[in-house]
Structure 1
Amino acid sequence: MLDVTRELVELMDLAPIGDDHFQGQSEDLGFPNLFGGQVLGQALMATTRTIEDRMPHSMHAYFLRPGNARAPIDYEVQRVRDGGSFSVRRVIARQEGKEILTGSVSFQVEEDGFDHQIDMPDVPDPMSLKTEQELNRELLDRVPEKFHSQLTRNRPIEIRPVDPVNPLDPDKRSPHKQSWFRAQGELPDDRILHCCLLAYASDFAFLGTSLNPHGVTFMTPSMQVASLDHAIWFHRDLRMDDWLLYDKDSPSAAGGRGFNRGSVFNQDGILVASTAQEALIRQRKSAKK
């Protein structure tokens, strides 16, 4: 396991600080604010600490405030219901006494039933594509030096975009994006950990799907972008140390918000999870003028 991956696994290992209360450390990825995927992954992990013999099948969360990447996060879990087949937990994430995320997670006992799925799209093999770091290095001569370390730093999740967009010179495209991703290095055989790491990774390069038709990116000076909410459904077992395809589309953008959907497939074409997110994609009026 690479050092950056080991650090990510340790980031998901929350410390108990009271009855159904847990604390997680923060990771600075060089973004202006705390990466939302980290809070999703840790919040999911916190709820699993109050469950036995059931796996998460869905998570719905709202981002309430920007997080501080240099401060710890406290997670409060509320036991809403434990039924014969399903359990529900509510989770609240706080920094410095203020809520930054609230959400609910539903768990289910494992059972057999009807089984169908959509087909995985035909895409290039991940090893034939450049990594995000390789693509970013090609832009360094056009980016201020203070951003170089952020663009080229080694991260625990390796991402290889299909048909990548140049963030400095975007063209207008259809509202679709695809990328392969995986954790760098082998992970423990812990099903819960793999679900939490998928929640973490599912927030990377998601909201940008709704920017494609408008020829802008998060690096466009006039843009203010932020995740507003996030939902993930776990359909089947997955491994985050194997390649997963993230197939994304954006059916709508309106009112300064972009709606995004995602399907996550393993290399065998099995649909392992689905996601949805609405994001703030506000273009400042002064910049338009």
Structure 2
Amino acid sequence: MACSGWRRRRRALSVSGYVWLNGSLLPRSEASVPIDDRGFLHGAACFETLRAFGGSVFRLGRHLDRLEAGLQAMGAEPPPRDVLHAAIAETLEANGLPEARVRLTVSAGRGGARPSLEPAEPLVLVTAQPVPEAVEPARALVARGTRVTADRPLPLAKTVNYLGPLLALEEARRAGLDQALLLDLDGAVVEASTANVFAVLGGEDGKGLLVTPPLEAGALPGVTREAVLECARGLGIETAERRLPLADLLAAREALLTNSIVGVQPLAELRDGERSREFEAPGPVTRALMEAYREVVARECRLAPPA
């Protein structure tokens, strides 16, 4: 019965568009991954979520830096950059999506009967989807069923071992919220399920201190996180990469999330059990960072300046 139900759901599924898989553009409904692929079987794969603006991917080089480092750390050979550049461009063109959410996934390739990371030809998959027209402020839950540890395998890589964040995100959605914040074993904030976290705390000069958890705590080295720190320094906002206790975040003036798709997203609500904190969304610091980030994107992707 379970199998027949799965078949009914599968037939009802409507898919469209094209993907780039190992050198070929294919209709999404015809693309498949080998059953012995190590990414599918063992999570031996890295991925990058990219944002295309006017057909140009913002900071693609920094994304590829992180992808290559992750693949090399697991003993896989990264594909040549010119191949990946072409794959992304062809996928955007085939789908007619100059504005897009692009996912680039590279696995360690096919394996044998016994698990191993012996060198193999990597599997490369590129997909593209439309982006939402507008992003609302986030409403987040402090996840209690999932914790982040800095000693997890390849903490600075974006691997497909994403079960922890997914479980946290599902916990938040069951509570009627759309994002989850992940803590370390000591209860400090590390990151969100699909984003980096920033808080605007009271600075010594009264202007506010922009704090984000350090990479040493287990936070992913987000490309947008890096860009937002650059924007803050350019605006003269004091920044610090340091431990962020949950109590400090709950007491913050403002809070915001960053990732490649939303850019800078204000955090409007943070819920922790029976406690709930609402933030001005966006507050003045977040608003300034949103504008500065849009200007950086427009300049680097050669877009018309934002209105």
TM category (shorter chain) comes to: under 0.3
Where relative contact order (Cα < 8 A, 6+ residues apart) is larger, the structure is 1
Q: Which has the higher strand share?
A: 1
| TM-score, normalised relative to structure 1 | 0.24
| TM-score, normalised relative to structure 2 | 0.23
Name the larger-Rg structure. Answer: 2
